[in-house]
Amino acid sequence: MAAGVASCLSSAALTPMSSACERNSSLTGRGAPLTLRGVGKSFGSKTILNGVDLHVPAGQFLAIVGRSGCGKSTLLRIIAGLDEPSAGTIEVAGVSKGRALLARIMFQEPRLLPWARIDANVAIGLGPAADHEQALHRSRAALATVGLLGRAGEWPSVLSGGQKQRIALARALVSAPRILALDEPLGALDALTRIEMQRLLEQVWLANGFTAILVTHDVAEAVALGDRIVLIDHGAIAADIPVGLTRPRQRGSAEFARVEAEILERLLAAAH
């Protein structure tokens, strides 16, 4: 972990869920840029992605929407380095093969180990080679960032669904990734918890400056969080829409509703 990130997480540990680290203050340039050129992916004779060209500047928050089965998770797995494209190239901060080391992914299910305490579950994000004491220290700092430091010694089974997702977020953050890939991470949460988690995600992103790639079915969520929204249709980018709203975004505002309606309209048009 870079020293700047460690100190950011440490200071956050003193002030849980605070904005102790302003965006890009001690962490200038933390996010990694991402470039896909002509990326394609096929499974057997089935083409899922075809000719995807995408550049995401360092530190941008990109939201990806699209109908079910259009290839969003496939694209995210390729970005995170969990899979390789069948065609084209992908680079994160100028590297292709080593990009998995720069990225972390969070899923809809928390995927916690039931036999490991919460701090140990978070420390897993640092990998098996991490020094035990240092790993626990970092794990606690990451837990403070998501407001759950007080639960460090407990078992995952005693947590609510929303709390489990916070632990999953802490585990994704503990290694200070330069890209955070999020595959419908809030999809299973109730409406209120979901909005709280969106605020937490935005706060953590602002504080740490990583590049965020969020796949979501919730158009309002994409508008609330994205600097930009990309619509995938039939394995290609069908629309690429900048979101110019100031943060924090006001869900009830006319401008928010206008952007949401525009995205929804394009999504529905793509579904035909």
Ligand X SMILES: Nc1ncnc2c1ncn2[C@@H]1O[C@H](COP(=O)(O)OP(=O)(O)OP(=O)(O)O)[C@@H](O)[C@H]1O
Positions that interact with ligand X (CB under 6 A) = 43, 48, 66, 68-74
Nearer to ligand X by Cβ, of 119 and 184: the residue is: 184
Minimum Å gap between C-beta 68 and ligand X is: 3
CA distance 125 to 168: 9
Nearer to ligand X by Cβ, of 68 and 157: the residue is: 68
Minimum Å gap between C-beta 28 and Mg ion is: 33
DSSP letters spanning 35-81: EEEEEEEEETTEEEEEEEEEEE-TT-EEEEE--TTSSHHHHHHHHTT
CA distance 50 to 42: 9
**Residue 70, binding choice from ligand X, Mg ion, none, Cβ under 5 to 8 Å by partner class:** ligand X
Nearer to ligand X by Cβ, of 9 and 182: the residue is: 182
Nearer to Mg ion by Cβ, of 21 and 70: the residue is: 70
DSSP H or E segment with residue 237: strand 236-242
Centre a 10 Å sphere on the Cβ of residue 69 and count the other Cβ atoms it contains.
Answer: 9
Contact criterion met (CB below 8 Å) for 218 and 204: no
Nearer to ligand X by Cβ, of 74 and 198: the residue is: 74
Minimum Å gap between C-beta 230 and ligand X is: 12
**Residue 175, binding choice from Mg ion, ligand X, none, Cβ under 5 to 8 Å by partner class:** none
Give the CB-nearest residue to Mg ion: 73
Minimum Å gap between C-beta 60 and ligand X is: 21
Minimum Å gap between C-beta 232 and ligand X is: 7
Instruction: Provide the 3-class DSSP secondary structure of residue 228.
Output: strand
Contact residues for Mg ion (CB under 5 A)?
Answer: 73
Centre a 10 Å sphere on the Cβ of residue 17 and count the other Cβ atoms it contains.
Answer: 17
Nearer to ligand X by Cβ, of 8 and 70: the residue is: 70
Which residue, 214, 200, 226, 63, is CA-closest to 142?
A: 200
**Residue 246, binding choice from Mg ion, ligand X, none, Cβ under 5 to 8 Å by partner class:** none
Sheet with 61-65, strands from edge to edge, namely 103-106, 179-183, 211-215, 61-65, 228-233, 236-242
Minimum Å gap between C-beta 4 and ligand X is: 34
